[in-house]
Amino acid sequence: MFLLLMLAVVGILFIPPLLSKPSAKSLDYTTFLSDVKAKGVATATVNNNTGTITGRLRDGTNYTVNGPEPSIPADVKLMQSDGVSLNFTTPSSNAFLSIITYLLPIILIVGVFLWMTRRAQGQMSGIMSIGRSKARLYTTERPRTTFEDVAGYPGVKTEISEVVDFLKYPGRFRDVGARIPKGILLVGPPGTGKTLFARAVAGEAGVPFMSVSGSDFMEMFVGVGASRVRDLFQTARKQAPAIIFIDEIDSIGRKRGAGLGGGHDEREQTLNQMLSEMDGFDPAEGVVIIAATNRPDILDPALLRPGRFDRQIVVPLPDLEERLPILKVHCKDKRISPEVDLELVARGTPGLSGADLANLVNEAALHAVRRGAAQVEMADFEAARDRVLMGQRRESLVLSDEEKERVAFHESGHALLAYVLPHADPVHKVTILPTGMALGVTQQLPLEERHIYPREVIEDSLAVRMGGRAAEIIIYGDLSTGASNDLVGNTELARKMVREWGMSSELGPMAWGSQGMVFLGEDLMHSRDYSEDTSRVIDAEVAKILLEQEQRAIEVLTLHRSGLEALAHSLLERETLDGSEVAALVDQAHGKPVHGDEAAGIAHFTSPNGTPKAEATTGSAEGDAT
């Protein structure tokens, strides 16, 4: 309103003079007097305020003259004596414009003062409200997600549905004497849909749903986190029955006393307030808390005890039966070709989370657009899977003939051992095209889902990773940097065999895990619960396992050297081979099927079945990455 008033005043003052165009002839005072003496002036009107003279000449032309103020008596007598019809006028001033002229500065000063006052009040209110919760409130009128929008995970849906039923029909539970869990902790790897489940609860429950992130409690001022926790629970009690969802609760729920800040650390005070609100002297009735984290091992034990978060729901990576409906959900809004077999895509994507599958479908759609296709074909899904698992192909990188040949033998060593060794995961694809950070890729996909890995499976995996290094030793008699990442992965796996899985005859059934502090990290604070002598035994056992598998890889590749050379030459010619082509080349070079009548069962597939290890052996300029 203030701005509109200012515009109106400016318009009244300045626009009329701009629009009024003078139609009278302007004369100077000397010329006017000459015309009066020459009997050329018919009428004259003198403005007593300004001295301006207006009138009409005898030829009919209107004129205006800036005369003296006050008028000169001699000139007035001259006009009267020469027959000019003379009038004097004293126009009254515009009262509105006069008032505006005086009030305008006052209005401007008052307006600026009010603007500054309101701005200062806004800043003060922001400071005073810093302790309020930043939770977003969702009600039943908002568009919502339901359990129908969440594919798979029937067990998780069943457990969370109990919370929804309690909030909708609390009387049924009270009649039996059942008490619903006050806190539910969703635990699982990133991208498995924990936050999506919380949104589905908000849509199904029909009660107020308050969503907040763990980091929203932390601020630069001391005590703000605890104040926001109190405000959050007070608001939830007013809305009860209600649901509070805290995402990434590990940011405030870490173990107390593990850092360098002492007992008065701001994070610890925030956690203390949350513990008190969840199960303190004045418990919050009718308020259910759902939290999500992918690091349950670092949460404070007091947070996980019964009465607070007394139920943990694991949201794991989806298996084969769950990946298919997840893919169907993400393909709803995509133009998918009828020839696309989503079940085949699900079988070929082991170990991928729901977020990974969503990204896979989007990458396939982007690849179809780059091809100029009108719909997504099966080839687009194949290209998207290769990009997600192995990385983007680097067209600009050009290898010399010597480097290309060494990469071909390196990848052939991996592929041949993956085919020949009985417990190794079959080869899906091998290529010497630079992909991601690698110069070549050997991709393996498991035949079936595994949850326990026997020792022979682990040893075959170690040998396959040694295949590139062993092939270079056999063919060139020396080594290169191509196996650096292979050795890193193998050393880590062998160390787990000795330290954690009890697969060492020298140490027996003993296990030692990492003892690094939660907050400080292993580099800053590293401790171990075994002696130096045991450490030397562990190092010796790790070296023994790796040397044995390297020797085993050399022996197998020496036995199948003709197959190794056949694979390398075929890769140099064609650059990419699939699993069935690898099997055919090795069998042909061997003179008979390597696996006998079982060869057809390992005929390496374009439709791999199973999940977990999603493992690909890749050779890069800096080393081999698994």
pLDDT in tens, 393-417: 776 677 788 888 899 999 999 999 9
| 405/572 Cα distance (integer angstroms) | 7
Element (H, E) at 137: strand 136-138
Asked if 506 and 537 touch (Cβ cutoff 8 Å), the reply is yes
Structure-model confidence comparison of residues 142 and 372, the more confident one: 372
Q: 């650059």: which residue's tokens? A: 575
| 191/356 Cα distance (integer angstroms) | 7
Structure-model confidence comparison of residues 587 and 77, the more confident one: 587
Mapped onto helix, strand or coil, the DSSP state of residue 349 is: coil
| pLDDT score recorded for residue 130 | 47
The class that CATH gives domain 320-390 is mainly alpha
Asked if 268 and 168 touch (Cβ cutoff 8 Å), the reply is no
Quote the distance between the C-alpha of residue 616 and its chain's center.
Answer: 26
Give the mean model confidence (pLDDT) for residues 307-321.
Answer: 82
Q: Where are the domains of the chain?
A: 2-89, 136-257+265-314, 320-390, 401-625
Query: Which of 45-59, 120-134, 270-284, 434-448 has the lowest average pLDDT?
Result: 120-134
Sheet holding 624-625, edge to edge: 576-578, 427-431, 438-444, 615-620, 624-625
| 412/501 Cα distance (integer angstroms) | 31
User: Active-site residues: which are they?
Assistant: 411
| pLDDT score recorded for residue 497 | 92
Query: Which of 229-238, 257-266, 480-489, 538-547 has the lowest average pLDDT?
Result: 257-266
The sign of the CA dihedral 453, 455, 456, 457 is: positive
| pLDDT score recorded for residue 208 | 77
Q: 91-121: b or e for each residue (b if 16 or more CB lie within 10 Å)?
A: eeeeeeeeeeeeeeeeeeeeeeeeeeeeeee
pLDDT in tens, 421-456: 999 988 888 888 877 677 888 888 777 767 788 999
| 144/205 Cα distance (integer angstroms) | 10
Quote the distance between the C-alpha of residue 442 and its chain's center.
Answer: 30
Residue 511 exposed, middle or buried by CB count within 10 Å (0-12, 13-18, 19+): exposed
Phi and psi (nearest 5°) for 157? Answer: -65, -40
| Structure confidence at residue 494 as a pLDDT band (50, 70, 90) | very high
| pLDDT score recorded for residue 598 | 42
pLDDT in tens, 95-117: 666 677 777 778 888 888 888 87
CATH of region 401-625: 1.20.58.760
In this predicted structure, the answer to whether residue 618 has a pLDDT above a threshold of 50 is no
In this predicted structure, the answer to whether residue 20 has a pLDDT above a threshold of 60 is no
Quote the distance between the C-alpha of residue 550 and its chain's center.
Answer: 42
Give the mean model confidence (pLDDT) for residues 149-153.
Answer: 78
**Check: CATH 2.40.50.140 for 2-89?**
no
Structure-model confidence comparison of residues 326 and 3, the more confident one: 326
Other Cβ atoms closer than 10 A to 198: 23
| 184/206 Cα distance (integer angstroms) | 18
Candidate CATH numbers 3.40.50.970, 2.70.98.20, 3.40.50.300, 3.40.50.2300; the one for domain 136-257+265-314: 3.40.50.300
| pLDDT score recorded for residue 546 | 94
Torsion of the alpha carbons at 117, 122, 124 and 125, rounded to the nearest 10: 140
In this predicted structure, the answer to whether residue 42 has a pLDDT above a threshold of 50 is yes
Mapped onto helix, strand or coil, the DSSP state of residue 39 is: coil
DSSP string, 70-84: SPPHHHHHHHHHTT-
| pLDDT score recorded for residue 417 | 93
| pLDDT score recorded for residue 621 | 38
What is the residue-averaged pLDDT of the chain? 77
pLDDT > 90: what percent of the chain? 14
Task: Please give the structure tokens belonging to residue 42.
Answer: 């018919």
| pLDDT score recorded for residue 218 | 63
In this predicted structure, the answer to whether residue 466 has a pLDDT above a threshold of 90 is yes
